[in-house]
Amino acid sequence: MLMWQLFGIIGIAFLILEMFTPSMFFLNFALASFICVPIAIYVHNVFTLVLIFSVLSFVSFIFLRPILIKKFNKSQETGINSKYIDKVVKTDSEITDSNGVINIYGERWEARSDDGSVIPAGVNVRIVRNESIIMYVKKIDD
């Protein structure tokens, strides 16, 4: 078997591994293998090819993997984060660090002051985070 064929088979094997473990890890080795295929047609020294494969794998892992992870693993905001966080609402009752109520989208939520201050009823607040069923809010300076 020729070396270029071997690198092609190794590249396909790494692609298959990447499909089963989508971690952007084996993709670096597959890319290095496929780059080594045309090089192996002209270079017949096994040590040189393994060295080129190793260097390409390392470079791909260091530089390409972070870019691929950032591009493909963009977490889409869903649920609480996209629907409630950073929204402005009026307080239904006085909000302290231990009790209070807000109303958003026709839903009644327990609310707490994020910074521990007392927020009077009827003022605008911004939802900054949530923990379970409690929304933490900050008063908006008018």
Instruction: Please tell me the pTM assigned to this model.
Output: 0.51
- What pLDDT, on a 0 to 100 scale, did the predictor assign at position 25? 84
Per-residue pLDDT tens digits for 120-142: 998 999 999 888 888 999 988 75
Break the chain into its structural domains and give their ranges: 3-72, 80-139
- Determine the longest span between alpha carbons in the chain, in angstroms: 79
Q: What CATH code is assigned to 80-139?
A: 2.40.50.140
Would the pLDDT of 75 be above 50? no
Assign 82 a pLDDT band (cuts: 50, 70, 90): low
Average pLDDT, the chain: 86
Query: Which residues make Cβ contacts (< 8 Å) with residue 5, sequence separation at least 6?
Result: none
Which amino acid appears at position 83 of this protein?
Answer: K
Query: 4: closest CA among 42, 59, 31?
Result: 42
Q: How far is CA 125 from the centre of its chain?
A: 29
Apex 62 CA angle, 7 and 54, nearest 5: 30
